Structure 1
Amino acid sequence: MTVMAERPTTNRTEVNSFEDLLDTLDELDVPDGYKAEIIRGNIIVSPWSKAYYLDVMELVCEQLRPYLPEEHRISFGPFLYVFPGVERAYGPDIHVARRSVSRSTSTHMDGEALAFVAELTSSSTRDDDLTDKVEMYGRAGVPVYLLLDMQEEQATVLWTPSAKGYGSRITRPFGEKLPIPAPFDCLLDTAGFQAP
């Protein structure tokens, strides 16, 4: 399901800015089992992940936790990070951010606090994870983006963010070790990331 930008808000004003989209998103009654993000000027509602994705997310968190930058935490779950400069709001599957970003009552967190994001593709999100998010996370300056392509069973790490996206990338099939660059400087073992 997609909520288009032309859709009126609850007070019957036109949605014509990123802030209007955020307000509409806050008022949206998202069905159980779904999450909502702002992608390319639209509110996109997509289903939550398959059950085995939880194991993969926990494996990533367990392996990266010892290498976190000081005053950062790694989490997975439904938190919305806002990137006003690129007019996007994403709920990454896994995120590493400064601890201070969560000291707020807002439902939106500052995307500039992120040091790392990971997305696990699904049939409904794969295109956005491989295109829009690669470009926008890089343009927003997120230092490391880990893309776990669950359909192709391969992991790609992207780093060196710039105005054009990311300048560096490495891809490995699931089962191999993938180097995760600074500020982590570690190897991620992707054994066990395959579907059961």
Structure 2
Amino acid sequence: MTVMAERPTINGTEPDSFEGLLRTLDELDVPDGYQAEIIRGNIVVSPWSKGYYTRVMRLVCQQLEPHLPEGHVIERAPNPYVFPGDERAYGPDIHAAHAKALETADNHIDGEALCFVAELTSSTTRDDDLTDKVEVYGRAGIPVYLILDMQEEQATVLWTPSAKGYESRDTRPFGEKLSIPAPFGCVLDTTGFRAP
């Protein structure tokens, strides 16, 4: 095990095997208050969000739920979505997918089932949220990726997924309104997203 300040990682226990990492992830006894993801060939264990992040996640879900594509649900549960082509498994802070994709006994959900993801950055996850996840979510064809940069207090929406990530983006400071493109076609009011 390699430990990085508040962010331990475990190198793959079965050499060069994403499936081995997934099995290890499933068997991992993650301490209360932490979540585990597979990022760049490592299992990364990060602390859960600060208390007020729950308020922000609830506000996002309340505003987007009426605009979900038919048959889709939006959740804050830490479901692990898998991106085998990129050898990644992420547990987005907020995710929307067709309800049928969640009707599985499997621990791993197909990342391509997502129509929306949102990540709330923390000091330990910010770099991956702004770089690695942008590329992976875009390559997977997820139509909308919302980054709530809690350190800079700004919201960035990315859309038009491509092989390089996303072709379109818009950033607004917390407190302003942000247009969320198709398949939602609505406006997100970021009032109430700031730290207490």
1:134 aligned residue: 134
CA contact (8 A) 1:83 1:110 kept: yes
Using structure 2 for the length normalisation, give the TM-score: 0.95
CA distance in 2, matches of 1:192, 1:150: 12
The SS at the match of 1:29 is coil
1:161 aligned residue: 161
CA contact (8 A) 1:86 1:140 kept: no
1:91 aligned residue: 91
Aligned 1:49-68 pairs, distance under 5 A: 49-68=49-68
CA distance in 1, matches of 2:163, 2:19: 22
For 1:169, the aligned partner's letter is R
1:18 aligned residue: 18
- Give the gaps of 5 or more residues in structure 2: 1-7
The SS at the match of 1:182 is coil
| Pairing partner for 2:10 from 3, 16, 20 | 3
2:108 aligned residue: 108
Post-superposition, which runs of at least 4 consecutive aligned residues in structure 1 deviate over 6 A? none
- Give the gaps of 5 or more residues in structure 1: 9-13
CA distance in 2, matches of 1:89, 1:172: 28
Q: Aligned pair 1:123/2:123, yes or no?
A: yes
Using structure 1 for the length normalisation, give the TM-score: 0.95
CA distance in 2, matches of 1:152, 1:29: 33
**CA deviation profile, 1:70-122 (whole Å, cap 9, x unmatched):** 00000002110011121110000000000001111111111111000000000
For 1:86, the aligned partner's letter is D
Deviates more, 1:21-30 or 1:165-174: 21-30
Q: Aligned pair 1:186/2:156, yes or no?
A: no
After superposition, the CA RMSD in angstroms is 0.7
1:11 aligned residue: none
Using the TM superposition, give the Cα deviation of residue 17 of structure 1 relative to its aligned residue in structure 2, in angstroms.
1.5
Using the TM superposition, give the Cα deviation of residue 181 of structure 1 relative to its aligned residue in structure 2, in angstroms.
0.3
The SS at the match of 2:122 is coil
Using the TM superposition, give the Cα deviation of residue 145 of structure 1 relative to its aligned residue in structure 2, in angstroms.
0.1
Residue identity (%):
74
**CA deviation profile, 1:12-38 (whole Å, cap 9, x unmatched):** xx3321111101111111111100000
